[in-house]
Structure 1
């Protein structure tokens, strides 16, 4: 499948690319809109595509900037659709549930959708209009357009967020939005997968997560929504600190170290031995939390966020126990750097299911 995309470098674009990567789909063909628009490159990306996904939009700025920006992006995309040597089979527009509420952003998105729909009709492409609510997910941008990202950023750094205006929120994990954009879910299924809460309840839930996780504990995760929200929080906590320190209690008999306290739900504990110089892992997870704890030997744990070249390396030693949690959508590995066997304990928040292992190969 050839898939062209605008907004590939943004929050939702990153999650959509991550979803496609996990499915083994080919590389996305991105093209820029706005000031960096290049008609020739855009036409190469779009021509012959099975699906054109339009994510790029403007949701911050003056009223004129928001309206003009969204209309410009749509006009540029429409121009490419009409000029492409082979028109895309489907055109998917990442719209907003704010359409119809009278806001500048809602009016702009409605106008942009109309422009794209007209172009799709002209070339005989199927048009899919996906109305998305408030999105959250790993590596959102704080202090921009997502209150969840702002709360997670502040809480993970020991600060106390406040609620200026409490209101109802419809929240959808970015992976579910991506599933609708690439056609795994229908556009009409999006709101059914969203969770309704309020700003104050969201903050209370994230504060509970932060309180437990600051001690290395895993809070009660009562639903898939809370699991996704906790993984979102963990993505910010990992930025603040890569290591979870453990307390080792020693006496004449030896030592005792508590590794994890799970406040509820399923979990699975295992351990491995690794020969000197051998590397394990080289994969990532979309939903699963995994904790590594070296209990004997020395090792390097290496982690890399999808589509990034930057590698985080954590050196661990069984004589000074600590744990490292694997963030979702980060490829990770562990290598025995010592001369003896490496003993590593693993904990996951879900029991392994060979039919749905959530383990996607990726070299760090």
Structure 2
């Protein structure tokens, strides 16, 4: 199994890489921080025994001169560290399709690739198109993140220049970077969505309009699912739980739990005894909804790679929908004295060969300091 190191591990693409590695059950990568990069010996020490270093650190937006200088400097710092390695690892550079296009950013990316190639280490110069995905930084990582954040805030997206672009989901790019073959919900071939900026704004606006009503919009292909999941990452946790329409008459009560436009999926109910927990896993692409119909429960969630836990107390007396954001570990626990009855819905029929379900505890272990023994 390849031993990986990563620069830019806390960035948008870095987080998606680390989350995919978590799903694959691979070891945590060695993280080379920007502080490490200022010391060639520290870089060399961290790269000792590493098979491949993913150079993801970069500067995407800002003053053009600072963007250019930052990307060149980061590559030069890594190159200095590689030259200190007795056996330097291969380098995979998250370059851009804009490399060498005459802009400060594009020319700096091309220069960075040349600097890394000059180290003598094997170089995979990967030209990445526009990336999108969950938890992108608005007004920085991509127009998708910007539009999603605006819509989540109730503001319409503004199209300044309507042009065609190619979008690749960050998990597909992560699979290509780490050398993972196609499988699960990822594709290292990085299939792109070619779409105009105006059409993107229109599609995301439709998703947002439906979701504000608690409905699942039409999701006709894998890019629709991933765009919708990206939007959902910007409305969580403030938009959860979602109240459900209730109807009552002399016969009793009806609760509308899931409305799916032009789609299907799978629904099932479970009964859980007091104290029983279900879940403790995460999904990369699957959409999943929980609705408690009887009893009381706590739904707890934690973003993969983060420590904070979000908790919701829910009960069958007031049914609400709680949708699980992708790449968040989640669980539901019966907190009441009787049986908990929960309805679950997913956007796809369960496939045991491609379950898109990865074990992950919601609560991180508490590290107890070792006792100091007096001599």
Give the Cα separation in 2 of the matches to 1:45 and 1:192: 30
Structure 1 pair 185/73, CA: closer, same or farther in 2 (3 Å)? farther
1:44 aligns with 2:45: yes
Higher helix share: 1
1:101 aligns with 2:101: yes
In structure 2, the residue matched to 1:287 is 285
Structure 1 pair 174/138, CA: closer, same or farther in 2 (3 Å)? same
In 2, are the aligned partners of 1:133 and 1:191 still within 8 Å (CA)?
no
Q: Which moved more, 1:18-27 or 1:41-50?
A: 41-50
How far apart are 1:36 and its partner, in Å?
Answer: 6.6
Alignment equivalent of 1:306, drawn from 304, 307, 314: 304
In structure 2, the residue matched to 1:144 is 140
- Name stretches of at least 5 consecutive residues in structure 2 with no aligned partner: 363-375
Q: Secondary structure at the match of 1:249?
A: strand
1:350 aligns with 2:348: yes
- TM-score normalised to the size of structure 1? 0.95
1:228 aligns with 2:229: no
How far apart are 1:48 and its partner, in Å?
Answer: 1.6
Could you list the per-position Cα deviations for residues 270-312 of structure 1 after superposition, in whole angstroms to 9, with x for gaps in the alignment?
0100000111100000010000000000000000000111000
In 2, are the aligned partners of 1:34 and 1:73 still within 8 Å (CA)?
no
In 1, are the aligned partners of 2:175 and 2:188 still within 8 Å (CA)?
no
In 2, are the aligned partners of 1:276 and 1:338 still within 8 Å (CA)?
yes
Could you list the per-position Cα deviations for residues 86-125 of structure 1 after superposition, in whole angstroms to 9, with x for gaps in the alignment?
321x210000000132111110000000000111x2xxx3
In 2, are the aligned partners of 1:31 and 1:37 still within 8 Å (CA)?
no
Structure 1 pair 118/264, CA: closer, same or farther in 2 (3 Å)? same
1:163 aligns with 2:159: yes
Structure 1 pair 232/249, CA: closer, same or farther in 2 (3 Å)? same
Alignment of 1:197-236 (within 5 A): 197-236=195-234
In 1, are the aligned partners of 2:32 and 2:46 still within 8 Å (CA)?
yes
How far apart are 1:246 and its partner, in Å?
Answer: 0.7
In 2, are the aligned partners of 1:281 and 1:333 still within 8 Å (CA)?
yes
Give the Cα separation in 1 of the matches to 2:91 and 2:235: 37
Q: Aligned pairs, how many?
A: 357
How far apart are 1:250 and its partner, in Å?
Answer: 1.9
In structure 2, the residue matched to 1:154 is 150
Give the Cα separation in 1 of the matches to 2:223 and 2:270: 31
In structure 2, the residue matched to 1:272 is 270
Alignment equivalent of 2:256, drawn from 252, 255, 258: 258
1:131 aligns with 2:131: no
In structure 1, the residue matched to 2:329 is 331
In structure 2, the residue matched to 1:116 is 116
Structure 1 pair 190/351, CA: closer, same or farther in 2 (3 Å)? closer
Could you list the per-position Cα deviations for residues 144-196 of structure 1 after superposition, in whole angstroms to 9, with x for gaps in the alignment?
2311101101112221121111111111100011111111259xx97761111
Runs (4+) of structure 1 moved beyond 6 Å?
A: none
How far apart are 1:251 and its partner, in Å?
Answer: 2.2
In 1, are the aligned partners of 2:76 and 2:116 still within 8 Å (CA)?
yes
Give the Cα separation in 2 of the matches to 1:272 and 1:191: 38
In structure 2, the residue matched to 1:31 is 32
Alignment of 1:57-72 (within 5 A): 57-72=58-73
How far apart are 1:35 and its partner, in Å?
Answer: 8.8
Structure 1 pair 185/99, CA: closer, same or farther in 2 (3 Å)? farther
Q: Secondary structure at the match of 1:334?
A: strand
